[in-house]
Amino acid sequence: MTAGSGNAPEGRTAARVCAVLLLLAATGPATADPVPQRFSATYRLFFLNLPVGEASLSVDQSAGRYGYDLKAGLRGLAGVFFDGSGTASASGERGRNGALTGTFRTESRYGGKPVQVSMVLSGGRAHDESVEPPPSPAPDRVPVAPQDKVGVVDPLTMLAIPLGAAALDPALCERRIPVFNGSARADLVLSRGTLVTVQEGPYRGPALDCRVRWVPISGHRANGTSVRRMAENDEIRVRFAPLPNGALLLPLTISMATGWGNAGIEATQWGAKAEPSGRTSVKVHLPNAR
């Protein structure tokens, strides 16, 4: 599910938006925690208030090691027109300085064409990338410089916020996340944090709401219409909620304004699988939340 593979036509902005939302829904490892943490979540993708797909995520981490698996697909009219589906996985460990060492792989389909991506991270440096088929040559494609692959995370580890014993605070939104997907580098800039209380849905409790800006660095087409629209989009918000042990914040909802209307994701299952009645929810209480 690599939005920067370069094989989807630039004009199919809706498909790109869905791909970006799938990646934004992905998560990453916290700092080393001696207690094993297993977690699962299911997300609904929507466009113009209509359901267009689902994504399921499983997280397994312990003592600094992590494993993540994401499965997602478009359905309804979006699935008919864009044939978007795929899986992604990441595994490895996080060093004391936060740098990742591990592997990242995706297998996806867009427009009926398969796309496979794999790469290795060693201390936060990406190498041994493989993208099949490779991005299409274009005179306006910005070359990826060696420094663009240093100090990066992959698309499955880009939007988790380690919390630990710290208080839930708007300042946690003030961060810049360098992401490399095997063929393109972009930064996610989080800011404008606010604290909210979620009272409906599979998770109920305190949450952190942040603005997100997507900043292309390299590997993209400089004159691409959808690239420009994404870079200029100032109406992307992500809402983070804590895992049951309170040590890690993961995306609960994401909303994005597009030229046709709002698109986004929202969690429909958070933690334990829902009972047949569908009423199971996870309620988290953080005494130090402000």
Task: Render the burial of 65-88: b for 16+ CB within 10 Å, e for the rest.
Answer: ebbbbbbbbbeeebeeebbbbbeb
CA distances from 87 to 32, 36, 38 (A): 26, 24, 19
Name residue 61's amino acid.
Answer: Q
Sign of CA dihedral 39, 243, 279, 255: negative
Predicted TM-score (pTM) of this structure = 0.80
Backbone region of residue 20 per phi and psi (left: phi > 0; alpha: psi in -120 to 50; beta: other values)? alpha
**225-232 and 13-24 helices, crossing angle to 10°:** 50
Beta pairing partners, 234: none
Q: Can you read off the two tokens belonging to residue 156?
A: 């499955």
Give the dihedral sign, CA 200/206/211/213.
negative
Sequential DSSP letters for 137-176: P-TTBPPPPGGGGSS-B-TTSSS-EE-TTSPP-GGGG-EE
Residue that is written with structure tokens 């992307």 in the block: 236
pLDDT, residue 209, reads 97
- pLDDT tens-place values along the chain, 290 residues long: 333 434 443 334 444 554 555 555 554 443 334 444 788 999 998 887 778 888 898 888 777 788 888 888 866 544 433 446 788 999 999 887 777 889 999 998 766 788 899 999 999 999 999 999 999 999 999 999 999 999 999 988 887 787 767 789 999 999 999 999 999 999 999 999 999 999 999 999 999 999 999 999 999 999 999 899 899 999 999 999 998 877 778 899 999 888 778 888 999 999 865 444 443 334 333 333 32
Q: Between the CA of residue 6 and those of 3, 15, 121, what are the distances in Å? A: 8, 12, 22
Q: What is the pLDDT of residue 288?
A: 33
Please state, in angstroms and as integers, the Cα–Cα distance from residue 167 to each residue in 39, 252, 285, 289, following that order.
22, 18, 12, 5
H/E stretch holding 47: strand 37-47
Residue 175 to residue 191: CA distance in whole angstroms: 7
Could you tell me the two tokens for 15? 């498909």
90 and 120 in contact (C-beta within 8 Å)? no
Secondary structure (3-state) at 4: helix
Q: Which residue, 173, 248, 247, 166, is CA-closest to 209?
A: 173
Residue 188, pLDDT score? 93
Q: What's residue 283's pLDDT? A: 39
Phi then psi for residue 25, to 5 deg, are: -75, -15
pLDDT at 183: 95
